[in-house]
Amino acid sequence: MSEQQENHKKGILEVSAIENGTVIDHIPPTSLFKVIKLLNLDRTTHQVTFGTNLKSKRIGTKAIIKIADKYCADEEISYISLVAPTARLSIIRDFEVAEKRQVEVPTHVEGFVKCANPMCVTNHEPHVKTRFDVFTRGGELVLRCKYCEKITTQEQIEIIR
Amino acid sequence: MKEKQSLVSIHDFTKEDILRIMELAADFEANPDQRLLYGKVVASLFFEPSTRTRLSFESAINRLGARVIGFSDMNNTSVTKGETLHDTIRVISNYCDMIVMRHPVEGAARYASEVSRVPVVNAGDGANQHPSQTLLDLYSILKTQGRLDNINIMMVGDLKYGRTVHSLLEALSHFKAEFTFVSPPELQMPTEYKMQLYERGISYYETADIMERMAMADIIYMTRVQRERFSDIMEYERVKNAYILRNDMLVDTKPNMRILHPLPRVNEIATDVDSNPKAYWFQQTENGVYTRMAIMAYLFGVK
Ligand SMILES: [Zn+2]
């Protein structure tokens, strides 16, 4: 095991280790529950452990989520980036980090996110799936609604799953 | 353009689409009696009242030889019984060949265009889009200036909430316009639009003084400064008279300059301007009928 892997393992061991599954690390503490909701972890049958306000060299304090026996779909991973752009994913097999996944920002988002405009049709009409284009504006990630054409900022993102 | 050929947002039209609409509007103006849509039925669905827009569309539909069904407000419709927009549009799109709709909710027209069997023309969805207004504004500019390229346009009034100025700004960006934004500080053009101009390399100038750049303008586009837009009523009282256009202010303006207004006008243009040949807002409404004929004929693919 390399030194880097060793340190990584130590870091994630602050919350009890899992044998197989996914570790999402370096989540900003304020985004923890957004990620939980995004991945439906409040309703899952998988064993989930999480910790928050842990020390992080990269982002000051961080949260971490460990999900036993679950491997995230690419789509789920890209959605994590909307609410927790600093997050890092590790796939665990036999207590070892088998793979690290890059969290990549999607160009489009469907469902999941509520439009911040209270006058938007997606907030008035039942069963309209929200749809957004994602782009950066002044260095910040923003979502433009396909319906009302208004902007939802990263700060305003509310998960509606 | 989209495959089902709806017009929901000015973004649905490319520069080429816009130029084609301009040609067609001129063609309809020269010869308004063209029954190209004879035998068609167009539904005019006004979920909120807007008499001028509705009559302009219905005039255009009639001139094209099509027939109109619809309603002019939500009262006495199934909507008041709680029917969803989805169901209303699904049903009515079985009764007609095209839907023209106005709705107070933003994005309603886009959603309707997704569930409708027939093309949808957005006649205003809340504070969002009103593309036929934008196209008739462009046609008015083209008619009065003989070109759309490099227009010096001064937009005055409520530039923060005014959807007509936002859409016109985006449409004119295809044609390298020069913009002057005149507004009280509370109602300035949102940063988002200024950034779009900046990214496209288009110059703009921002001021609170209506006279500062008036002599350079080809077009003055007036909008109303509404009291309810101000968080601070004292601020409104302080600025309300600064954005009223009077005839004596127009002395040094260019001979080709014309004044546009999306109407209704309340007091932002003094009535003494009406007789000035530079006043153009009433002709602008006539242009609206030809532009709407052009839009519908284009979407139906008959022109
Ligand atoms: Zn929206």
Residues B139 and B204 in one domain: yes
In a domain, A44, yes or no: yes
pLDDT for the residue numbered B2: 41
Model pLDDT for residues B125-164, shown as the tens digit of each residue: 999 999 999 999 999 999 999 999 999 999 999 999 888 9
How does the average pLDDT of chain B come out, rounded? 94
Residue B1 pLDDT greater than 60, yes or no: no
Residues A54 and A93 in one domain: yes
Q: How far is the CA of B263 from the centre of ligand 1 (A)?
A: 27
Model pLDDT for residues A115-150, shown as the tens digit of each residue: 999 999 999 999 899 999 999 887 788 999 999 999
Residues A120 and A93 in one domain: no
Residues B116 and B144 in one domain: no
Residues B270 and B216 in one domain: yes
Q: Are A125 and B111 inside 8 Å of each other by CB?
A: yes
Residues A22 and A55 in one domain: yes
Residues B137 and B273 in one domain: yes
Residues B188 and B275 in one domain: yes
Q: Are B105 and A121 inside 8 Å of each other by CB?
A: yes
- Average of pLDDT values for B90-114? 97
pLDDT for the residue numbered B283: 96
**pLDDT band of A9, cuts 50, 70, 90:** low
If one compares B209 and B4, the residue with the highest pLDDT of the two is B209
Model pLDDT for residues A44-62, shown as the tens digit of each residue: 899 999 999 998 888 889 9
Nearest CA in chain A to B124: A148
Residues A32 and A87 in one domain: yes
Q: How far, in whole angstroms, is CA B219 from its chain's centroid?
A: 15
B130 is annotated as an active-site residue = yes
Residues B138 and B279 in one domain: yes
**pLDDT band of A78, cuts 50, 70, 90:** confident
pLDDT for the residue numbered A10: 54
How many structural domains does chain A have?
2
pLDDT for the residue numbered B91: 96
Residues A54 and A69 in one domain: yes
Chain B environment of A148 (Cβ under 8 Å): 106-107, 125-126, 128
How many structural domains does chain B have?
2
In a domain, A46, yes or no: yes
Instruction: Please report, for the domain that includes residue A135, its CATH number.
Output: 2.30.30.20
Q: How far is the CA of A82 from the centre of ligand 1 (A)?
A: 17
Residues B64 and B194 in one domain: no
How far is it, in rounded angstroms, from Cα B194 to Cα B213?
A: 18
Model pLDDT for residues A23-45, shown as the tens digit of each residue: 999 999 999 998 998 888 988 89
pLDDT for the residue numbered B229: 83
Q: Which amino acid is at A133?
A: D
The whole-model pTM stands at 0.88
Q: Are A121 and B129 inside 8 Å of each other by CB?
A: no
Beta-carbon contacts of residue A106 (< 8 Å; ≥ 6 apart) = A75, A78, A79, A81, A82, A134
- Average of pLDDT values for B236-245? 88
- Average of pLDDT values for B212-239? 91
Residues A126 and A64 in one domain: no
Chain B environment of A121 (Cβ under 8 Å): 85, 105-108, 110-111, 125
Instruction: Please report, for the domain that includes residue B17, its CATH number.
Output: 3.40.50.1370
pLDDT for the residue numbered B227: 84
Residues A37 and A112 in one domain: no
Range of the domain at A70: 3-102
Range of the domain at B41: 3-129+288-300
- The pair of structure tokens assigned to A133 is 């284009």
Residue B244 pLDDT greater than 80, yes or no: yes
If one compares B224 and B21, the residue with the highest pLDDT of the two is B21
In a domain, A161, yes or no: no
Give A108→chain B minimum CA distance, Å: 17
- Average of pLDDT values for B255-281? 95
Residue B123 pLDDT greater than 80, yes or no: yes
Q: How far is the CA of B160 from the centre of ligand 1 (A)?
A: 18
Q: Which amino acid is at B126?
A: G
